Chain A
């Protein structure tokens, strides 16, 4: 059981380049999330998808777009990468409708550097 799978694990981009981070989960979870992890800032929510077919902005959505392709997959796209987007990106998933007691399952992360 793979859980949450993210690709790629590492990526170096030049300013202005675009790329898509892929995420897939095999736990039949309804909700999926993209977070970025920065030193001193903790984890900040970029976008989330409460269920298939819906997406909503999180705390730091500027410069990103997302696609909930189906129940399993949730991709994050950087249209024109900027150095400020250098970060570690985490995808996560959870069951929905459980009230506040949600447990998130995380992928292994993507380390992105924008030069």
Chain B
């Protein structure tokens, strides 16, 4: 069965420090992976997706098929990055029914 694991429930860094939120997945084949973010008092929203190869708000994520990982990285964290982050995996068949990881709460201290 496909699975998404985010090993860190909480992650704290200081402003300006690099940050890496870990995501490991279990999936046979080439997955499309997503990172969603929920800022305080805001809706859960898409941050970035693997297929787009984009950098959003300074965040990037690289799919490593050998390590089955899709870690989210930012070289210099900002206080406004503090949020709950979810890694998500789509179904093998069909669409939309994402499987989410457990989530990581990132706190960026001033």
Contacts and interface: CB of A to CB of B under 8 A. Distances in A.
Interface of A: 3-4, 31, 33, 35, 40-45, 48, 50, 58-59, 90, 92, 94, 96-104, 106-109
A60 B74 CA distance: 34
Q: How large is the interface on B (under 10, 10 to 19, 20 to 34, 35 or more residues)?
A: 20 to 34
B95 A42 contact: no
A111 B51 CA distance: 33
Interface of B: 4, 6, 9, 31-32, 36, 43-46, 49, 51, 86, 90, 94-103
A98 B43 CA distance: 23
A79 B9 CA distance: 33
The 6 closest A-B pairs by CB, nearest first: A100-B32, A43-B100, A42-B102, A106-B44, A102-B96, A100-B90
State the majority secondary structure of interface residues on A.
Answer: loop
Contacts of B43: 3-4, 106-109
Contacts, number: 68
A42 B8 CA distance: 12
Contacts of A107: 43
